[in-house]
Structure 1
Amino acid sequence: MSKKRPLILVTNDDGITAPGIRALIEVMNTLGDVCVVAPDSPQSGMGHAITINDTLYCDSVTVTKDAPQTEYSCSGTPVDCVKLAVNEILKRKPDLCVSGVNHGSNSSINVIYSGTMSAAVEAGTLGIPSIGFSLLDYNLEADFEPSKKYIKAIASQCLKNGLPKGVVLNVNIPKLGKKDIKGMKVCRQANAHWEEQFDKRVNPLGREYYWLTGEFINEDKGEDTDEWALHNGYVSVVPVQFDLTAHHAIKDINTWDLS
């Protein structure tokens, strides 16, 4: 790989053959030398899971003939992919890690469940500027063309300017045509949650099992949130920190009798 061009690590949680990652690779090839390390099968909702009690396999593959990128298919989670890429596959630390494009939203509280975002966060903990991209369309035939302009713009700025220490970007793109996306807004994460339900069933052998279902509830009426931006036709860009310390609570908890 050329040392003059940025080295870009591409990963995802939908699997190495998913249309979303193919669109992301296409854009990244215009910005630098690309290495893809992605799961060999869908890993949605895996969060920051890592493989510790099983073997990991990572094989060189060719998904798109004559494409310039190098690609590896990994048996593990999105976070495993990043760890393997940085520690075993790449000759130097990437200048940028991009994850996605996820099929479906990772806005608001969804960020904590997301394998897409966890891969970006993992790279961030290693000092690599990182971005997770998601399109609000779960269809495997989703149109990623309108997203490419915004993906390139954000990735280009990260390569040029870097990111603040301890921060990665969570980017969500509305399901709209090129002419209908109004632009981008830097936002905060909306205060929202899932009200989960479990669909209880019985299999042919008489054993009970469950399907997780639920409703997304947005209680946040602020016009500075990712949910507001997305519902009003904007790409949302949320800076996410991976220091989970609730700094504002330290003073109050220090008043407790902990002797």
Structure 2
Amino acid sequence: MTQKRPLILVTNDDGITAPGIRALISVMTEIGDVVVVAPDSPQSGMGHAITINSALYCDAVVIDKNAPQQEYSCSGTPVDCVKMASRQLLTRKPDLCVSGINHGSNSAINVIYSGTMSAAVEAGIEGIPAIGFSLLDYAMDADFEPSKKFVKTIVTNVLKNGLPKGVVLNVNIPKLPEKDIKGIKICRQANAHWMEEFDKRTNPMGREYYWLSGTFINEDKGEDTDEWALHNGYISIVPTLFDLTAHHFIQELNNWSLT
């Protein structure tokens, strides 16, 4: 008896035609049967947003007529895409959900804002092992070839070993040639944040508007963080929880005079 190929759900936040997701699809088709459900337009920075006040559209599309995978273009957010896939489009639960490959970093605090990682988290909430992949290159013509070997290694290991309930993987890949990537490091999330600024401007009609910018500040000097790994030529993997409870503070909070 031949072993059934795993069913892999592929999504992203840069849109279904983005080069990053096309690279990810090409690797996943080597491993399993692939279904793609991805946004019809860029949804970067959407975090865990869902569509509740407007209609959702989800259409079967053919982007590469020679490719074996099924693909659906969704009008919603990355999280909407995962919900649509698991609740409406798929006839069985996927063995794995992969999100990405994102154009740009999702290390450190960026995981909070990331549509890429929120799609992975949503899959994890639904009991689907999930991985978010990001390449530290924001260009739409970014070279994803050096990432492919490492993506395949990580995915095959997750399929073989599984993930604990409530854990998804946040994988970030430095912008380097394959020969210069030193390996893979298991990391913690760096204590880093954005110092935001708003650039105040005026449009041609005289109305003021604002453009968000900012500086990324890493206050963490540890050599076990994702930021350290990436700056030193390693791929970082951070096992990420979506239970936001501050368990260590529960006992102290119980000692407050709240009643």
Q: Please tell me the root mean square deviation across aligned C-alpha atoms, in Å.
A: 0.9
Query: For residue 200 of structure 2, what is the aligned residue in structure 1?
Result: 200
**SS of residue matched to 2:238:** strand
Q: How does 1:60-79 map to 2 (within 5 A)?
A: 60-79=60-79
Matched, 1:18 2:18: yes
Deviation at 1:3, TM superposition (A): 8.1
Matched, 1:55 2:55: yes
Deviation at 1:232, TM superposition (A): 0.3
CA distance in 1: counterparts of 2:102 and 2:176, whole angstroms: 15
Deviation at 1:65, TM superposition (A): 1.6
Deviation at 1:202, TM superposition (A): 1.0
Query: For residue 227 of structure 1, what is the aligned residue in structure 2?
Result: 227
CA distance in 2: counterparts of 1:54 and 1:228, whole angstroms: 42
Deviation at 1:255, TM superposition (A): 1.4
Q: How does 1:1-259 map to 2 (within 5 A)?
A: 4-259=4-259
Q: CA offsets per residue over residues 173-231 of structure 1, 9 Å max, x none? A: 00000110000000000000000000001112221100000000000000000000000
Instruction: Tell me the amino acid that sits aligned with residue 220 of structure 1.
Output: D
Q: CA offsets per residue over residues 9-53 of structure 1, 9 Å max, x none? A: 000000000000000000000100000000000000000000000
Deviation at 1:247, TM superposition (A): 0.2
**SS of residue matched to 1:120:** helix
**SS of residue matched to 1:212:** strand
Gaps of 5+ in 1: none
Deviation at 1:66, TM superposition (A): 1.2
**SS of residue matched to 2:229:** helix
Instruction: Tell me the amino acid that sits aligned with residue 194 of structure 1.
Output: W
Q: CA offsets per residue over residues 48-100 of structure 1, 9 Å max, x none? A: 00000000000000111210000000000000000000000000000000000
* TM-score, length-scaled by structure 2: 0.99
CA distance in 1: counterparts of 2:166 and 2:117, whole angstroms: 14
CA distance in 1: counterparts of 2:204 and 2:19, whole angstroms: 35
Deviation at 1:5, TM superposition (A): 0.7
CA distance in 2: counterparts of 1:214 and 1:34, whole angstroms: 38
CA distance in 2: counterparts of 1:205 and 1:171, whole angstroms: 44
Instruction: Tell me the amino acid that sits aligned with residue 28 of structure 2.
Output: M
State the percentage of identical aligned residues: 78
**SS of residue matched to 2:171:** strand
Deviation at 1:254, TM superposition (A): 1.1
CA distance in 1: counterparts of 2:125 and 2:140, whole angstroms: 31
CA distance in 2: counterparts of 1:26 and 1:211, whole angstroms: 36
**SS of residue matched to 1:108:** coil
Instruction: Tell me the amino acid that sits aligned with residue 33 of structure 2.
Output: D
CA distance in 2: counterparts of 1:115 and 1:11, whole angstroms: 10
CA distance in 2: counterparts of 1:202 and 1:141, whole angstroms: 31
Q: CA offsets per residue over residues 146-182 of structure 1, 9 Å max, x none? A: 1001100010011111101100000000000011000
CA distance in 1: counterparts of 2:183 and 2:211, whole angstroms: 37
Gaps of 5+ in 2: none
**SS of residue matched to 2:98:** strand
Moved over 4 A (4+): none
Instruction: Tell me the amino acid that sits aligned with residue 244 of structure 2.
Output: L
* TM-score, length-scaled by structure 1: 0.99
**SS of residue matched to 1:245:** coil
